[in-house]
Structure 1
Amino acid sequence: MNAISLYAKPSADFDAKVAESVALLQRAVRDYAPITQASSLGAEDMVVTDLLQRHHVQSSIFVLETGKLHPETVALIDRLESHYGREVDRYYPNPAAAAAFVAENGEEAMYRSLGLRKSCCDIRKMEPLERALAGKRAWITGLRREQSGARAEVEFIEHSQVTDRNGVESTRTKINPLARWTWGDVWHYIATNKVPYNPLHDQFFPSIGCAPCTRAVTLGEDFRSGRWWWEQESAKECGLHVAADGTHEGEEPAAFEPLSAVSVIPIRAIPN
């Protein structure tokens, strides 16, 4: 069985959701250009890319190539470019900063403390993200309310005040065209429109990030339970969609669960 056969079950108002998402993307480009899509190359982001292409919405697309992605994820970048006949911008961490972090803390530093994990995310994701968004008024994501409790309040359009590393303040707008979509909607769209997707989804990876911080899940587990699985639930963000300290608004930083107390072996669930 693959992800399509398991999950492609559209909601009753699927067609209305697609129309709603397309209208939002068209409005966003009109009102907030220049705009870009931040693609993690997960199923949702591949749907967003297809919507952009299919409906001729003028937006660049970028990927944070962290240096720690699964080979399947990296290979999907080339597949995406070939399938749609367009270029994807790739942003890499500062090589000196990444090398210095590994030299000081080791390749598995993220397992030792929440602070080290967030420092790794800062080097490999947050600083490259700042470069990717430089000069852009808005960015498009694949966030959905169903993904986790922390994302249950995701709005279609979100505005936030941001301060860059040089102390410059600005307003950044985030567009979430799939906010109301279900997991079944995502996979129905992929199946119907023959959208390329990460083969790790067929191996029970619903949410895919860097290889050291992502594992497969068993059927019935929470959607994002395979991300940073050794941490408490409220800590499971890298910083791209949360406050500057890595927490959600109004939250205190979550406690860290020592690696020795959890299993780090990916679980490969096989359905009956």
Structure 2
Amino acid sequence: WEMFGEGLVFATSLAAEDQVITEMIARNRWPIPLVTLDTGRLFPETYDLLAETERRYGVRIQVFFPDRAAVEAMVAESGVNLFRDSVASRKRCCQVRKIEPLRRALAPYAAWICGLRRGQSVTRAEVSEIEDDAANGRVKINPLAAWSEEQVWGTIAARGIPYNPLHDRGYPSIGCAGCTRAVRRTEEVRAGRWWWEAPEQKECGLHRGS
């Protein structure tokens, strides 16, 4: 906050890590705005958690949506479940539903906070606490980059932080409903995201280079 002032924003997906950061912001009364993306394909439990988080911490999380015309054109051309057709089609869906809304959400800010951890997947193994986010032309801050999964859940338990009940049903990483499945204990955290793709391809584009 001292470095960026009003130029800093927290983009939360309501993941376990993001819930820890939200609690930190609220508990310390840091004047950092919170934003999130509604792709139009989220789990009902995610919407419930959004409402519960706002109530619990007395914060307002600004929701950004994809452009309606862009979604309608994409679905008309390629179908409602185009993300299953190819990696290119899945990335197009992510571009319309996630990346473009994120750019609008970040537009007023010089830096953004998110909940990336090195232990989440092979694509995030080199994540640093502070990164040059060239794709968005901003600084990206990952305060939990070095945290373990055990640290995250230990903090959630100790502080009574609300979290998505899908985590208790085998979903360690939660995205759009059509692109997320439960995982086995032996699988990595993000194995349930776009499970039909190779692990090194499994990023939506929000965290390029991560």
TM-score for both structures, normalised by structure 2: 0.96
Which segments of structure 1 move beyond 4 Å, counting only runs of 4 or more?
A: none
Give the letter aligned to residue 29 of structure 2: H
Q: Distance in 2 between matches of 1:140 and 1:182?
A: 18
Q: Which residue of 1 aligns with 2:168?
A: 202
**1:209-244, CA deviations, whole angstroms, 9 ceiling, x for partnerless residues?**
01111000011111110000000111100001115x
1:44 to 4, 13, 17: 17
> What's the secondary structure of 1:31's corresponding residue?
coil
The answer (yes or no) to whether the contact 2:135–2:208 under 8 Å persists in 1 is: no
**1:123-144, CA deviations, whole angstroms, 9 ceiling, x for partnerless residues?**
0000000000001010001000
**1:58-95, CA deviations, whole angstroms, 9 ceiling, x for partnerless residues?**
21111100000001001111111100111100000001
1:89 to 59, 62, 66: 62
Sequence identity percentage: 48
1:156 to 129, 136, 140: 129
RMSD of the TM alignment (CA)?
1.1
> What's the secondary structure of 1:131's corresponding residue?
helix
Deviation at 1:160? 3.2
TM-score for both structures, normalised by structure 1: 0.75
> What's the secondary structure of 2:76's corresponding residue?
helix
Give the letter aligned to residue 221 of structure 1: E
Q: Which residue of 2 aligns with 1:259?
A: none
Q: Distance in 2 between matches of 1:230 and 1:132?
A: 30
The answer (yes or no) to whether the contact 2:132–2:139 under 8 Å persists in 1 is: yes
Q: Mind listing any 5+ residue stretches in structure 1 that lack a counterpart?
A: 1-28, 164-170, 249-272
Give the letter aligned to residue 167 of structure 2: H
The answer (yes or no) to whether the contact 2:117–2:142 under 8 Å persists in 1 is: yes
Give the letter aligned to residue 41 of structure 1: L
1:67 pairs with 2:49: no
Correspondences of 1:208-223 after superposition (within 5 Å): 208-223=174-189
> What's the secondary structure of 1:45's corresponding residue?
helix
1:237 pairs with 2:210: no
Q: Which residue of 2 aligns with 1:132?
A: 105
Structure possessing the higher radius of gyration over alpha carbons: 1
Correspondences of 1:113-124 after superposition (within 5 Å): 113-124=86-97
Q: Distance in 1 between matches of 2:159 and 2:176?
A: 27
Q: Which residue of 2 aligns with 1:183?
A: 149
2:2 to 16, 21, 30: 30
Deviation at 1:161? 3.1
Q: Distance in 1 between matches of 2:153 and 2:134?
A: 34
**1:177-232, CA deviations, whole angstroms, 9 ceiling, x for partnerless residues?**
00111111101100100001001001010000011110000111111100000001
> What's the secondary structure of 1:53's corresponding residue?
helix
Q: Distance in 2 between matches of 1:149 and 1:209?
A: 18
Q: Distance in 2 between matches of 1:199 and 1:161?
A: 34
**1:23-64, CA deviations, whole angstroms, 9 ceiling, x for partnerless residues?**
xxxxxx111232111111110000010111111222111110
Q: Distance in 1 between matches of 2:135 and 2:126?
A: 20
Give the letter aligned to residue 57 of structure 1: W
> What's the secondary structure of 2:116's corresponding residue?
coil
Q: Distance in 2 between matches of 1:86 and 1:54?
A: 11
The number of residues matched between the two structures is: 209
1:107 pairs with 2:80: yes
